[in-house]
Amino acid sequence: MACVLTFTRPVWQPDPSVDDRRLFLNRCADACGRLGHQNRAYLADHAERLYATWRLCRRLVPPGRSMLSIGAGSAFVENALAADGAEVTVVDFPEAIELNASHYRASGLSAVAGDASDPAALARLGEFDAVLAAEIVEHVPVAPSELFRGWSACVRGGGGLVVSTPNLGSVSSLLRLLFMRPLLPPAEQVFGPVSFENEGVHRREYMPSEIRSAFTSAGLRPEIVAFSLNHRPRGIKEALYVPLQLVPRFRPTMIATAAK
């Protein structure tokens, strides 16, 4: 059975890793000035999720180890890992690579334009100690087990795959269902083609059990499932959600790892 970890504490409890969090966010703030898109506003909306992902990846990719990040985008996590001495390669749409080229160079990241759902193209990049796919599976209309099978080809034996994605079992999803609100964007977007222009469309969101099952189907060994807030509560409306999110599995993002 998968282990469940909690990375984000309620705001009224002290954070035992406050120095780590400050270090990570300072690195992200420095990177914002170099980004072509997904900069300060994106960081504000996703700071806690990004921090939780970095903490987990840092265990798998210590200094001198290598990581491939699929669909890296703003590469906040990748920038921080590279600053610690990891060797990081990022893959994304050609448009994203061009927009963020100066940021990738300044961060010491190797950047490759490619298709996250094309296993043959990814396999040509070689093997890495870990592969990160942060907020990717929900944007690609391909079964996660098929994606994981292709991505795991880039993981060397004993390495790990890290996947972060929205948690379909979160409080916000349950409330949308309670009030008969749709969980996904309009069907025209969900079933439309995937491109850089519509990269933000969620084609499908998943329950933690589905991600673990997809790992197993892809020949990987599920290890950790962690749950995180996306950002700290802002305003009264968001603060009302906090008591409901004391149970980790009701938080909006899951971060899962599997070993090869």
Q: How confident is the model at residue 3 (pLDDT cuts 50, 70, 90)?
A: low
pLDDT of residue 240: 74
pLDDT at 37: 74
Q: What pLDDT does 206 receive? A: 98
pLDDT digits over 48-103, tens only?
A: 999 999 999 999 999 999 999 999 989 999 999 999 999 999 999 999 899 899 99
User: Which residue from 69, 59, 53 is spatially nearest to 21, judged by alpha carbons?
Assistant: 53
pLDDT at residue 104 in the model: 94
pLDDT at 243 over 70: yes
- pLDDT at residue 15 greater than cutoff 60: no
List pLDDT tens digits, range 147-206: 999 999 999 999 999 999 999 999 999 999 999 999 999 999 999 888 888 888 999 999
Q: Which two tokens stand for residue 61?
A: 């990719």
Residue 240 CB: number of other CB atoms within 10 A?
10
55 backbone dihedrals φ, ψ, rounded to 5° = -60, -40
Written as six digits, the tokens of 1 are 């059975």
Q: What is the pLDDT of residue 226?
A: 95
> d(Cα 182, Cα 201) in Å, to the nearest integer?
14
Q: What is the pLDDT of residue 225?
A: 96
What is the CATH superfamily name and number for domain 3-7+19-259?
Vaccinia Virus protein VP39 (3.40.50.150)
* Residue-level pLDDT at 106: 94
- Asked if pLDDT for residue 9 goes beyond 60, the answer is no
Please report the pLDDT score of residue 65 as a whole number.
Answer: 96
Confidence check: pLDDT of 122 > 90: no
Phi, psi of 99 (to 5 degrees): -60, -40
CA-closest candidate to residue 152, choices 60, 61, 215, 58: 215
Instruction: For 31-48, write each residue's pLDDT tens digit.
Output: 998 887 778 899 999 999
Statement: the pTM of the whole predicted model exceeds 0.75: yes
